[in-house]
Structure 1
Amino acid sequence: MSEQLDTLAQQVALRLGPADWGIGGSYLLYCHGLVQRAQDLDLVCSPHFYPHARKLLLELGQELAVVAHPEYCSQHFCRIQTASGVIELMAGIQVLRQQHLHQFVFDPLSLQFRHGLPLMQLQDWLQLYQLFDRPQRVALLELHLKQNSCD
């Protein structure tokens, strides 16, 4: 699956261009060698870029139905099934925890480009996995970041 996602990531990069978006999630972890396989292609963008990005990505596949989640309150979210895998596009990420809304602000200036792909920071996805209540991913990233810190 990850080889297909490699191809899909390159297609997305060509389609969206060097704009206001970045790659995260399991594909980011895969690019850093932290997991053997990526499950899908998670893309984060700014809320103002979302409509344009969604329109361009829908040319690659078909939008999937999304079931509302009681805690995930992002401004924008869609899933797109392509021949090479699923793309999840999100913007204005917000999570409701214990009646408090936690927000993640995407910063395109923090992206690292590798093989033409705009990769998000691992620290950003540590924060997001904490918000999404994904303890295994949190532990994986905390260990990796601790082992690779400059302290």
Structure 2
Amino acid sequence: MSIEQVLEKVVACLQQERIQFGIGGSLLLHHHGLPVTPLDIDLVVALADAERTVLLLSEMGTVLEQDEMSLYATEVFKEFMIEGIDLDLMSGLQVHHDEGVFVYPFDEQSIDSTGLPFMALVDWYVIYQLIPGRDQKVTMIEDVFTKQEVDHERLEQLRQLVLPKAVRNRIDQWLN
């Protein structure tokens, strides 16, 4: 199966079960027309739905063993292999940085309700700044921001969280 087919199958299952989730990562960037080739599916799920989602995805594929990463303090992180496609499930997403811990505020209101449930691009703009080696993706998102309206309200909400000063400063350029 292709990544699109697996995504369609997973989305249909989770929506049928009324799971609150959003699609992020490279699929989100690809959705916005950025020159990336998605190799996996990144899903962020409401904490209240995490346990049920793990069970549903376990029935669809295999749970993979993953390495512990000290950068993340995410409450639920599971990696699945479904029809040959890697799927990462995150819930209670948290990232350690030099100035504390960023706790991602999953908000169903920031999920696109038309078509596939993609997360807000500004969310991944902030998340990618906290993950080493994602500078190119951050720059690509900024390029999108120069061509379309930026969700100032959501970006301001994220800026108020525990973020490194450098990330807050970079966000400020889009809020002013």
TM-score between both structures, scaled by the size of structure 1? 0.90
CA contact (8 A) 1:24 1:125 kept: yes
Asked if the contact 1:26–1:35 (Cα under 8 Å) also holds between the matched residues in 2, the reply is no
Note the 1:50-69 alignment, pairs <5 A: 50-69=50-69
- Higher RCO structure (Cα 8 Å, ≥6 apart): 1
SS at match of 1:48: helix
What residue ranges of structure 1 are gaps of 5+ in the alignment? none
Structure number with the higher strand fraction is 1
SS of the residue corresponding to residue 67 of structure 1 reads coil
Cα distance in 1 for partners of 2:21, 2:63 equals 19
Q: In structure 1, what is the equivalent of residue 123 of structure 2? A: 124
Percent identity for Structure 1 against Structure 2: 30
| 2:139 match: secondary structure | helix
Runs of 4+ in 1 over 6 A off after TM superposition: none
Partner residue in 1 for 2:8:
10
Q: Which position in structure 1 is the counterpart of 2:77?
A: 77
Aligned residues: 148
Cα distance in 2 for residues equivalent to 1:138 and 1:36:
12
With over 3 angstroms needed to count, the CA separation of the structure-2 counterparts of 1:99 and 1:67, relative to structure 1, is farther
Normalised by the length of structure 2, the TM-score is 0.78
Matches within 5 A, 1:1-150: 4-17=2-15, 18-98=18-98, 100-115=100-115, 117-133=116-132, 134-149=134-149
Q: Deviations over 1:24-48 (max 9, x none)?
A: 0001111221134211000001111
Q: How much has 1:147 moved relative to structure 2?
A: 2.2
In the aligned structure 1, how far is the partner of 2:144 from the partner of 2:91?
26
